[in-house]
Amino acid sequence: MTGFQGRHFLQIPGPSPVPDRVLRAIDMPVIDHRSAAFAELGKAVLSGSQKIFQTSGPVIIFPSSGTGAWEAAIVNTLSAGDKVLMVETGHFATLWQKMARRLGLDVEFIPGDWRHGADPAAIGEHLAQDKDHAIKAVMVVHNETSTGVTSRIALIRKAIDDAKHPALLLVDTISSLGSADYRHEEWGVDVTVSCSQKGFMLPPGLGFNAISEKARAKAKTGGMPRSYWDWEDMLKPNADGFFPYTPATNLLYGLREAIAMMLEEGLENVFARHKRLAAATREAVTHWGLEVLCQNPEEYSPVLTAVVMPPGHDADQFRKIVLENFNMSLGAGLTKLSGKVFRIGHLGECNELTLLAALTGIEMGLSIAGVPHRAGGVDAAMKLLEDRTSANAANHLKLIKT
């Protein structure tokens, strides 16, 4: 790969490319994390994160991966032996339930086909049958990174409420936060888990828990033994902009800049951009005659698109051809999808021209790899983007005139 000119196209669904503005923000001297200057930074990222999670409640930032944030959500709210309800939506939902079992939880795992999101009706039925309220939490992945399928969290919250069940709602937004519309407070989520290297457009290294008052109260009276992950240990110094142990200072500089970028664009515009790029990607895929893995249009991910390879063609071999010829990385199929799908990331710092370049590389790769397809997918995506851009411009002019 050393012979390539130009940038590497990182079109995996995270880590996402880090914008120049964020890179420059990270490139700062380390400062005293007990100083007034650091307190200003700490307060800025903590309050700014609330805007991205769309909550007025606390957001806790750990120096960790998303996996660490998963564990923090569990050990603060649940105890060994507690029963939880989880849904098999893909690879990462499966990993989260494996962690829950290893931590001693009794997991009821609703099986899934990896092509659909969590079914609110099925969750509601399970809770309605739980007359003794043995289920202490419902745990769902919002955007399943392995499949390109989203789950409808607002409807899941409604199903819990309709069943009049007191279970906590824990949601993984590791690949969706900052890219897909997500409303922690409005949707009544008790713990939202996320991390830095997806929609926040940062390198890996920060884990997040947004928490409700109900979840915080539960943590104060229960949960598992914990030290590093303890919410209250974090929240006390957070009130003054500090952390109980050495924070990832330079990543926090980057976080402040990433939040500023999203708020400058406007969250609604960020979400609309991701939906527009996802629609263009699907337009190209369907024109090629290939199949989108997600089967329910209401659950299409704005973050990534998983593409099913035709029988007899290996997705990993195709990805290798694209990488070697065009210096572009596509996401692999994970576990039961290994070799069967490739994933196109269109999140974070991605715009129309970035996406069209990526789709061009994929279309050329399909030809080189001998994958049966109909040429012109890039043109189809371009037409969709042109139409939507023209409509947006017309609406903008109409607003100016009125």
Q: Which residues sit in the known binding site for substrate?
A: 343
**Residue whose C-alpha is closest to residue 322's, from 11, 66, 38, 3:** 11
Beta pairing class for 168-172 and 191-195: parallel
**Closest to 219 (Cα-Cα) out of 142, 108, 137, 325:** 137
* DSSP-based three-state secondary structure for 12: coil
Residue in this structure with the two tokens 């519309």, named with its chain if needed:
181
Annotated binding site: 343
The CB-side HSE value for 234 (13 A sphere, CA atoms) comes to: 25
Task: State whether the Cα torsion 361-367-368-371 is positive or negative.
Answer: positive
Distance separating alpha carbons of residues 45 and 230, to the nearest angstrom? 19
Compute φ and ψ for 236, nearest 5 degrees. Answer: -60, -55
Q: What's the DSSP call for residue 171?
A: E
C-alpha separations of 192 from 57, 168, 187, 315 in Å: 11, 11, 11, 33
In the structure, how many helices (H) and strands (E) does the chain have? 13, 14
Q: Which of 209, 190, 199 is nearest to 60 (CA)?
A: 209
Q: Alpha-carbon distance 176 to 178, whole Å?
A: 6
Q: Are 38 and 32 in contact (CB under 8 A)?
A: yes
| Per-residue tokens: 359 | 């789709």
| Listed residue (181, 208, 211, 209) closest to 197, CA to CA | 208
DSSP 293-362: S---GGGB-SSEEEEEPPTT--HHHHHHHHHHHH-EEEEEP-GGGTTTEEEEE--SS--HHHHHHHHHHH
